[in-house]
Chains A and B, each alone.
Chain A
Amino acid sequence: MIRLIALLLTLPIITSCKQETQVQSTGLVYCSNGSPTSFNPQLAQTGDSLDISSQLYNTLVRLDPSTQTIAAGLASEWHVSRDGLSYQFELRQDIQFHSTPYFTPTRTMNADDVVFSFQRVLFPTHPFHSVSGGLYPFFNNTQFSRLIKSIKKIGPYKVEFELYRPDTSLLANLATEFAVVLSAEYAQQLQHSGKFNQIDHLPVGTGPYKFKQFLPDNLIRFERHWGYWEGGAPMQQLVFDITPSPTKRLAKLITGECDVMAYPAASQANVISNHPDLLMNVQTGYKVSFWSFNSDRPPFDNPKVRKALATAIDRDTILKAVYFNTGVAAHGLLPPTSWAYNPYLSDYAYSPKQARQLLQESGVKLPLSLTIYTPSGSEPYNPNSFKTAEFIQRDLRKIGVNAEIIVQEPHLLQHSIIMGKYDTLVSGWSAVTSDPDNFFRPQFSCNAIENHTNTSRWCSTELDGLINRAVKLNRMVPRIRIYREIQSHLRDELPLLPIAHSLQLQAYRRDVHSLNSSPFGGVNFAGAYRN
């Protein structure tokens, strides 16, 4: 008896000293932040995390991680017609779909699969269109159906997209994790058995890992897909440990229960970088936080007032206190890593004195009072919007402007934005594609006011003209020229004050290698391994 107790007591010490076991060395655990609503990224909300997408699926084209330009994916090459109205994709012929207990593919991927995947999204008459709700938020937001006229198979491995008007941001849209290719053969089988819904819950894709098990709010288990066209993944198993709390995610990372952690909080960056077993990836995300002025409401229609308020804000303090230095100062809407970024623009320097002077020159009735609306929680582009608003309030007091902060829950705030009830708003934008159009169109085009993404309610024919002209151009140099013009136009008009680009953080254990994370927050385990 005593011997047994002694054994039980020493057990944890023995086992904690144990070496890494077979199972652990052939698998990785990723602490993700939430259960996916479905296993089909086409249906995902644009704000959802899309961690599953690049494990299970591939897209026609992808973003080259180092240059942020479009590179080949499932399509080995593509041709754009002279008028910019037709895109032809040449597909690779060696792409195998996942073979799972619920589906065994009999052929490799071909043009039928691509046509099926996109027609499902585009055409309401498609048998699969209304399955799982029939809402495709990403494709709606980017107005896919108003852009694409038809998708045709023009050879066994050749597909053509026909457009209503030229739009060069199409490729960037096709490179996002939403635009995945599903198996038409699987869909056909499901259609025969009448189990349409299954296509979005038991996924079949072409990605490096295949689906094995899902326990809601608990875990997702993936298995290696040996037939992956870029070569089988080094790890046999991949498990997503669904852990909504960032504190708990970090705890699990420290104890080694997780190997990679999703979305470390800005306040955790210090702990992670000081821990001997942990590493952190940092890259500038395609995210920006800003302070919008409601240009519908006087006196914020006056550019002098906007400039005065902008000069009054000490953004460095916000970077330190709110972002804990996990952000970089934003000199414009585009992050410096974007190919269209304009490096020649000067920024508004912090100067309360100049701000006061500008405010007096503007002829506005003093003392000025205004409201600052802000969401209550943390956003992908801003770790703490409320605290940001408080700093703005404090800075405004220095120039004699009295600001009232109004905190609202997301759906209430949405309503306020639709009604345009605010003077100013602490807000931001997470881009879903690398194309600069994805920053300017939602923020500043007249149409975007009704989509309530245009938080400064900005509508100018000049800017709209520039935005539309830029996407019609095929060649890079003239496009860059126009985007630079847009940026300097915005700098002069200042419908909103950019605050910071948050850095995309990724924390992982030191023994994990070749992890590939995208600037949009996703993570790709295709080549990741443990050593």
Chain B
Amino acid sequence: MFIYIIRRLNVFVITLFLLSVVAFLLQRQVITDFVNTGNILSDYQRYILAMLSGNFGTSLASGNPVLTDILAIFPATLELCLMAFVVSILIGIPCGIFAGLSRGGAVDYGIMTITLMGVSVPAFWFAMLLMMFFSLHLGWFPVSGRIGLLYDIPVITGFNLIDTLLSTKPYKYEAFFDSLLHLALPTLVLATIPTTEVIRQVRASIGEEMDKNYIKAAQAKGLNTFQIIKRHGLRNALPPVIPSLGLQFGRVLTTAMITETVFSWPGIGPWMVNSIYLEDHSAIQGGMLFIAAFVLLANMATDLLHLLIDPLKRNELYGKS
């Protein structure tokens, strides 16, 4: 186990190293006032030491250290992404099971058609459609932001759903529901991508498992379909889905930036776009490295989670697969 973690960490560190080299070279090329002593190695050493100590430079736009700005903004993005994953699991697993059980049937075709539409639809367009219908036409949801601005909620964790409940204001439950309302549409848009992925994966692995002999044995024992799925099917079908969810994280984060821009969600997306407009190089670079590191970390974390949950995966520990 320990050796496996070390192995995974190795990959993580090497990828991060390559990324930092790319970022460093770009910065050397682009920024004219970059302190350039001519010796590329010593420059890089200085650069990487600064990065490792959390010094991403100072943002030109705000005058704050870049890391401070990112840490203040990133929870908003993370909250949105996590909600999207929760929704995608809540919707994706049941849909995947139904589709997997009726492979080739009408339900399967129906679900897969919707899934295909979900993959193909551009996020920004979908976001605008939802906004026009649910917000402007029906007036159910707000069009932008994280929470009604009249709710003055002090920042503790940066996650609005938690902060509202932690606050001591008399209107904290109202504020909590208000931030749920604000989350609804962006979450829906963002959830389309991982949901379709979950549906496809669950469908495939359920379909595969249901043909296996132990399921037939269970059927012979007289268990009904629900019991079979609950006791045997899901247990074997779900764990392989986990690493693919981790891989989705990068895509979700990219889509989150678009979604955030459409819904004026004060997360890392609009922040990066704004930094680009202002040619705030240290912010762009810091943001890029931070996001990349975060995605890599998330991948590694899901890998380890998979390892803990899936006994078959543990074979890898002993080099058996």
Contacts and interface: CB of A to CB of B under 8 A. Distances in A.
Which of the four size classes fits the interface of chain B?
Answer: 20 to 34
Contacts of B175: 23
A71 to B, nearest CB: 33
Interface in A266-294: none
A5 B140 contact: no
Contacts of A27: 150
A29 B151 CA distance: 11
A243 B62 contact: no
B292 interface: no
B150 A23 contact: yes
A257 B144 contact: yes
Interface in A13-47: 13, 15-16, 21-24, 27, 29
Residue among B151, B170, B264 with the most chain A CB within 10 A? B264
A155 interface: no
B150 A248 contact: no
Contacts of A213: 152
B60 to A, nearest CB: 13
Nearest to B178: A15
A313 interface: no
B181 A12 contact: yes
B145 A257 contact: yes
A318 to B, nearest CB: 31
B150 A237 contact: yes
A13 B140 CA distance: 7
Which of the four size classes fits the interface of chain A?
Answer: 20 to 34
A215 B73 CA distance: 11
Contacts of B150: 23-24, 27, 29, 237, 239
A241 B140 contact: no
Contact of A251 (B135, B140, B148, B184): B135
B149 to A, nearest CB: 4
A241 B145 contact: yes
A217 interface: yes
B240 interface: no
A23 B148 CA distance: 10
Contacts, number: 74
A218 interface: yes
A24 B90 contact: no
B139 A257 contact: no
A12 B140 contact: yes
Contact of B174 (A21, A239, A251): A21
A257 B151 contact: no
Interface string A209-226: 000110111110100000
A248 B264 contact: yes
A254 interface: yes
Contacts of A251: 131, 135-136, 143-144
A255 interface: yes
Interface string B213-243: 0000000000000000000000000000000
B157 interface: no
A264 to B, nearest CB: 16
A104 to B, nearest CB: 21
B139 A11 contact: no
A248 B143 contact: yes
A218 B148 contact: no
Interface of B: 62, 90, 131, 135-136, 139-145, 148-152, 170-171, 174-175, 177-178, 180-181, 184, 264, 266, 274
Given A12-B181, A239-B149, A255-B143, 16 more contacts: A5-B90, A11-B180, A13-B140, A15-B178, A15-B180, A21-B174, A23-B151, A23-B171, A219-B149, A237-B150, A241-B145, A248-B144, A254-B136, A254-B139, A255-B141, A257-B142
